[in-house]
Structure 1
């Protein structure tokens, strides 16, 4: 490293953001529940967040996964102390809904009794199959542990943004390429056989500016150096607040370094082969949410069929380990009956609703019902080429990044955003009673105009914003 990192001069203050986001992860060290949390803090056992259906707790266990008994205990605790709704966020966190200030001590005691230890400190995320996937390029979990030790050794203890996220991705069957991170490390094998880590900031794997490709210990030192630069900016600083040109200048370049292209990540839903004998089974609660009783019923059967560990993954997924392949079909049938999606091409996988009215005080419509309506009438849209974001308000918690189509709730109706985030300028507005007919119109627009071999996304891009707006108004 060449001296200290320089940061942009105009980033001394960073605007915080609400953390009721299914698309982003974070941690909070507040010591006691408070009725109104600082923007940028995350709901935790010690500081649950008020929402439309009571207090919400986000939980990321410190272990790679939970035993069946532990997850069953978590579901029972949510049923007893909350409203029984459990969500898996886009980053693989548990969200427990419907608690009250009176029920929180009982929830915390039951979670402790189950031996579930919440992760604390800065969020360091690794792919869910790290450590059991033989196709993993490098040991992401081991490097993440060494990185956490390096961060814990900093003195004084760093004050970092509550939502700051670091990704350490060792490659393999499931990657975290689609998740945004303030700082990310991605393992790669070079053409000459070396195992290195690519260091990047502020984005997904595709969009984050790359700073350097380094051996493991140098990569850890690089992350620590970036964190020290963020500390210098202030306690709400994020990766996007670093001056990229100045940061890049601090890292050495490797002459003639040749990096192969990465292999596409497998879907987190469906059967995921690990080796000749072992597979993981990925399931997804419908629209990221499941009732405790349904989860308990499923776990009882899964345990009988050999499941011994459940890990959470990206795209709101649950990954079962230990199942015998002969029992997979039986498990899939039970999973579907319990409200779990079992196939990667399920149209519901391409609808991203937020919690919606009733669960969130800011939402203007029932997004889960709208999602079910879209699956029912909009099959032409949901071919896997795009995602439709259903946002109850302009905050866009469930999908902060741009989507091909976003339907944003407002007091008097809905705003339709094309190829943008929920806060972007809409192409059209529709009345409060017109949502389902608008969804039908969008499906018909694709069905009537899609050329042979064309995807829904390609069709909509070719037709353009004006054609989409016209179809919506007519619908």
Structure 2
């Protein structure tokens, strides 16, 4: 079996990706949020042009699957009418993840950062190169992928290059933006981007690149907060769905609350200032729901990279997963659904599953070639 193809870019609205069930069209909500009207509109478009679900991603984006090529032009017109499209260049650089529970000022940092990134000098940043804005204490996005990080620390904020243990103290939001842009410039000019157009900050540092003194520091980021769970929060409500797929009717139920909806990188949607729980069978509002303990990608036949079906198996094993554990069923070794360490990972290979414990899908397995029928007997917590 050939290795999974790593494309080095993520689908966008202007650059959709062909999958086994049609085009994947990703929407990057401006400043990480959509209005209730936009949520209703996306639900309508998912039914009109796609598979009928709106997926949340680990990069705090939304995407429609199963879009026919013939329907794509109409979908783009409808997304533009909803106010969810800018131009192709700015949309490609909108790789920001904001703390969805952010304090005041986080959106302003993001807005100014996007203005800076719109300059032509940043057009060479790789498609997966991203920024994390997580200035609170404790940090909520410590486990979320990003190359340049604006993070909370004792007494304020720091700028930290991903892959560096510590960062540089920041005096205010204005300096946070200017220093983040300077770090992106350094990445570009110091050889961070390869001949293939790819590059990540942590890999660049691991390969021996030395941060300039002006962009380095010795301040440790604040401790990380536990990953949020569905249900009422201190202020607001988090709603999840099986495997991050919100049916159109479930999304309409959330939009009925009337307020903004923030997209989280935990495959949940956060409704600030909303405490009343919508009643919809496709919504997960209980943190103890077994489906919250397993992540699964699209699998066959929806993804051409996968060689096994995934979500039926994930649903079957979910009730047996111990509390506090996270399992992952991955259609191939790329691990798109959960590119992190899981307590147990089942990785599709040649129509069967390899078993990884306390690792990622690309780590060495402890067992190979398990059939779905063998998993019930062979896989134990």
- Distance in 2, matches of 1:282 and 1:173, equals 19
SS of structure 2 residue aligned to 1:287: helix
Q: State the partner residue of 1:126.
A: 98
Whether 1:143 aligns to 2:103 is: no
Contact 1:201–1:240 (CA under 8 A) maintained in structure 2? yes
Pick the aligned partner of 2:328 from 389, 392, 397. Answer: 389
Q: State the partner residue of 1:413.
A: 352
Whether 1:404 aligns to 2:343 is: yes
Question: Deviation of residue 65 (structure 1)?
Answer: 2.0
Query: Which stretch shows the higher mean deviation, 114-123 or 66-75?
Result: 114-123
- Distance in 1, matches of 2:221 and 2:66, equals 47
Whether 1:374 aligns to 2:342 is: no
Contact 1:87–1:95 (CA under 8 A) maintained in structure 2? yes
Please give the per-residue CA displacement for 1:263-292, whole angstroms capped at 9, x wherever unaligned. 62461421112xxxxx31101111111322
- Distance in 2, matches of 1:407 and 1:292, equals 29
Contact 2:139–2:152 (CA under 8 A) maintained in structure 1? no
Q: State the partner residue of 1:226.
A: 183
SS of structure 2 residue aligned to 1:103: helix
Whether 1:272 aligns to 2:233 is: yes
Contact 2:32–2:60 (CA under 8 A) maintained in structure 1? no
Whether 1:292 aligns to 2:248 is: yes
Q: State the partner residue of 1:359.
A: 302
- Distance in 2, matches of 1:413 and 1:165, equals 34
Provide the TM-score with structure 2 as the length reference: 0.87
Q: How many residues align?
A: 366
Stretches of structure 1 lacking an aligned partner (at least 5 in a row): 1-15, 19-38, 131-135, 274-278, 447-475
- Distance in 2, matches of 1:252 and 1:421, equals 30
SS of structure 1 residue aligned to 2:183: helix
1:125-204 equivalences in 2 (<5 Å):
125-130=97-102, 136=103, 139-153=105-119, 156-171=121-136, 175-190=140-155, 195=156, 197-202=157-162
Instruction: Provide the alpha-carbon RMSD of the alignment.
Output: 2.7
Whether 1:315 aligns to 2:266 is: yes
Contact 1:268–1:314 (CA under 8 A) maintained in structure 2? no
- Distance in 2, matches of 1:173 and 1:186, equals 9
SS of structure 1 residue aligned to 2:344: strand
- Distance in 2, matches of 1:321 and 1:253, equals 34
- Distance in 1, matches of 2:126 and 2:283, equals 34
1:339-354 equivalences in 2 (<5 Å):
339-354=282-297
Please give the per-residue CA displacement for 1:101-138, whole angstroms capped at 9, x wherever unaligned. 100011111112222235622412211233xxxxx3x6
Cα separation, partners in 2 of 1:152 and 1:112, compared to 1, 3 Å: closer
Please give the per-residue CA displacement for 1:440-465, whole angstroms capped at 9, x wherever unaligned. x41xxx4xxxxxxxxxxxxxxxxxxx
Contact 2:56–2:63 (CA under 8 A) maintained in structure 1? yes
1:90-129 equivalences in 2 (<5 Å):
90-117=58-85, 120=91, 121-129=93-101
Whether 1:209 aligns to 2:148 is: no
The structure showing larger relative contact order (alpha-carbon pairs under 8 Å, at least 6 residues apart) is 2
Provide the TM-score with structure 1 as the length reference: 0.70
Contact 1:406–1:418 (CA under 8 A) maintained in structure 2? yes
Which is greater in Rg? 1
SS of structure 2 residue aligned to 1:340: coil
Stretches of structure 2 lacking an aligned partner (at least 5 in a row): none
Question: Deviation of residue 41 (structure 1)?
Answer: 2.4
1:235-246 equivalences in 2 (<5 Å):
235-243=197-205, 246=210
